[in-house]
A and B are shown apart, each in its own frame.
Chain A
Amino acid sequence: MNVWASILIILVVLIRAIILHKIPKLTFIIMWGMCLLRLLAPFRFSIYTNSRSTEIIIARVLNNVASVLTSSVQKSEAGAVSYIPNISWPIFIWIVIAATLFIYFIVIHLRCRNVYRFAVPIENAYVNEWLSMNKLKWRTVKIKVSADISASLTYGLFRPVILIPKTTDWENRDLLKYILTHEMIHIQQFGTLWKLLLLIVACVHWFNPFVWVMYILANRDLEILCDEEVVRTFGVDSRAAYALALIDLIEKREKITPISSAFSRNAIEERIISIMSMKKSSFKGIAFAFLLVVGITTVYFTSAFSANVEIAIGTDVFVLERLSATQLAKHNVDNQTITTYRIINRIESASESISGRFLQFTTLDEANRFAPFTIKAPSFLPGSLINMSIGVTQRSDATAGYEALIRYSLKILNDPDWECWINMSMDYVGPDAYIEVETGYSIRALMINDIEAIATYSHTIDGKSLFWIKDGVFYCLSASLDWDIMIAIAESV
């Protein structure tokens, strides 16, 4: 379950319960939008700043679900790469239920559309005149009459149609005016799109009860937002007339179709009170709403930074790349200079201090599921193979001369409750070796053999290189940069 999203939802529900009728209703839609974004986004937008430049790095973050779906790359004996999808039972059930819900709602929608097609263009002079005076800029709205519906509704995102029941009291122009304005505002506010997004999120997160709470309340808030705009259009004095018109519609509908009511008592009462409590928006209300939105945004971004799987080191994004077989780089040692070896020597010198605490997994698959990322590692490490993964030391026992020479540990510092060590081992396998680093947990700070790697300054340039300075020594781990460029950077810092 997406914990941060659930917390966001609970926050919004609480705020809603306390001050629904006191602040502009758009506030709630924005806050629900934040929740939606939090639930939908497999991508998170993070803004990183440092002394040199401000860059926006779109950090691809896999949430739990996506990470389990990622197939792991495994090297077969022949050197070929085979993809083995990791789909476990819970994931299977999740997908099946989500798909079933999707299909269910799609079928309902199609059945409705099947009925709507019998609707005919309206032939009411007043309504046609109203439509010609209230045209939308980008979309053409059609108004049709259906004998099969009991309340007016809107459908169609790009070619919106307002459907009005045949049983409508066509003589009551005030009522018509309210109905048409209400539906037109729904179209302007892209109510259909909001509802669709909410539905998708609810289907995907069907196991999260808070999401369903959001689903219901956000749908209500869309109505309430629409009501607010209607009242604004006709003036505050029209509140009572509009509210009574709504009640009349419900009353009439209940008479026609007594079997099943689609109206929830609570929802209607809430709506009516909301309409009646609308005033000209006060400065206080707007200011408070603004603060709320800022607050929720903060919670959103806080959560974006600290939630589950994020590969971020310090204030920078570490290497994010899945290695395919062809990407496994072959490294050449010849052009490296002594400075490079200094780094390696440092690592080597402390190679004995390996922490004994590893995460334990029973199978490699399980471990890989936890560690879906592969990182191309330092190109200056001579003909070496670094294998870094949580708790998985894939040490070779087959190849001759394939021996673990150096191992070093990365300590994950960001989460005191979840202290674990990433084991990183480097093996010589001759000139054709590759380096592979895997991690599936967020790294906030990095320690290489008790040397704090990220200290005074650190930076990534292309997402594949990491620099830092410690005690006057410039360090660089890079999978992509040439030596000259590294030197140039070192000199410029």
Chain B
Amino acid sequence: MNIKLHDAELRVMDVIWKSEEATASQISSVLKEKYGYSKTTTYTLIKRCIDKGAIKRIDPGFRCYALVTQAQAQELETLELINKLYDGAANQLVESVLNNKKFSQDEIKRIKNIVNEWGDKD
């Protein structure tokens, strides 16, 4: 069984894989030290891993076990979410509403030519 995990979710899995079993607070303190993640950030990630079936949670103590091996986990290379948000730049959002043309290969070539032409001038 292969499960696609996000970059940040893999960091949670790394902690569990290394120690086979880890409580949520242990994971949180490791990720805080290593990456500066806040508690809520880590808990969000753990919850996502549980939802995806990568982690099994056992109470009491919120102990987490890995349900997948390191080999089974695949990194999810997705940029979908952020693209919908236009990287948070409202101006790009507005501009894209007005001018929704994509860059084709031809366009890029044309613009590269502009650079070359200007370069020749000097």
Which residues from chain A sit less than 8 Å from chain B, CB to CB?
105, 108-109, 111-113, 115, 117-118, 120-121, 147-151, 153, 155, 166, 195, 198-199, 212, 215-216, 219-220, 239-240, 243-244, 247, 250-251, 254, 256-269, 272-273, 276-277
Contact = CB atoms under 8 A, between A and B. Distances in A.
B89 A153 contact: yes
Contacts of B85: 108, 111-112, 115
A262 B96 contact: yes
A254 B114 contact: no
B119 A240 contact: yes
Given A117-B37, A276-B115, A153 B87 contact: yes
Given A112-B88, A120-B11, A147-B7, A212 B79 contact: no
Contact of B103 (A239, A244, A263, A277): A263
A118 B34 CA distance: 12
> Which has the most chain A C-beta neighbours within 10 Å: B41, B79, B94?
B79
B35 A120 contact: yes
Contact of B79 (A118, A257, A267): A257
20 contacts: A117-B41, A118-B6, A120-B11, A120-B36, A147-B7, A148-B7, A148-B81, A195-B91, A216-B94, A240-B115, A240-B116, A244-B112, A247-B111, A260-B100, A262-B86, A262-B87, A264-B96, A268-B103, A272-B114, A273-B114
B112 A150 contact: no
Nearest to B96: A262
Contacts of A251: 103, 108
B11 A262 contact: no
Contacts of B111: 247, 268-269, 272
Interface string B6-40: 11100100000000000000000000001111100
B82 interface: yes
A447 B37 CA distance: 71
Given A219-B95, A240-B115, A240-B119, 18 more contacts: A108-B85, A108-B86, A112-B82, A113-B88, A148-B79, A150-B87, A216-B95, A240-B116, A240-B118, A244-B112, A244-B115, A256-B79, A257-B79, A257-B83, A262-B83, A262-B86, A262-B93, A276-B114
Contact of B7 (A150, A166, A268): A166
Contacts of B45: 118
> Which has the most chain A C-beta neighbours within 10 Å: B41, B80, B90, B100?
B90
Nearest to A115: B82
A250 B8 CA distance: 25
Nearest to B116: A240
Contacts of B102: 254, 258, 261
Given A121-B35, A263-B103, A269 B94 contact: no
Nearest to A155: B88
A150 B91 contact: no
B98 interface: yes
A304 B11 CA distance: 57
Nearest to B41: A117
B8 A118 contact: yes
A112 B87 contact: yes
A220 B100 CA distance: 16
A155 B82 CA distance: 15
User: Considering the complex of A and B, which 7 residue pairs feature the smallest CB-CB distances, nearest first?
Assistant: A147-B7, A112-B88, A276-B118, A219-B91, A118-B8, A262-B92, A120-B35
A149 B114 contact: no
Given A240-B119, A251-B108, A149 B95 contact: no
Contacts of A263: 92, 103
B59 interface: no
Contacts of B37: 117-118
A121 B101 CA distance: 35
A16 to B, nearest CB: 16
A211 B82 CA distance: 27
A113 B40 CA distance: 14
Interface string B54-73: 00000000000000000000
Contact of B99 (A148, A256, A264, A273): A264
B107 interface: yes
A265 B99 contact: yes
B99 to A, nearest CB: 4
Contact of B83 (A121, A244, A259, A265): A259
A116 B84 CA distance: 14
Given A199-B90, A240-B119, A266 B99 contact: yes
Contacts of B94: 212, 215-216
A118 B98 CA distance: 31
Contacts of B100: 260-261
Contacts of A155: 88
A266 to B, nearest CB: 7
A52 to B, nearest CB: 49
Contacts of A220: 91
A149 B83 CA distance: 8
Nearest to A166: B7
Contacts of B88: 108-109, 111-113, 153, 155
Contacts of B107: 265
A47 B80 CA distance: 54
A166 B84 CA distance: 18
Nearest to B85: A112
B99 A277 contact: no
B35 A108 contact: no
B115 A272 contact: yes
Contacts of A272: 111, 114-115
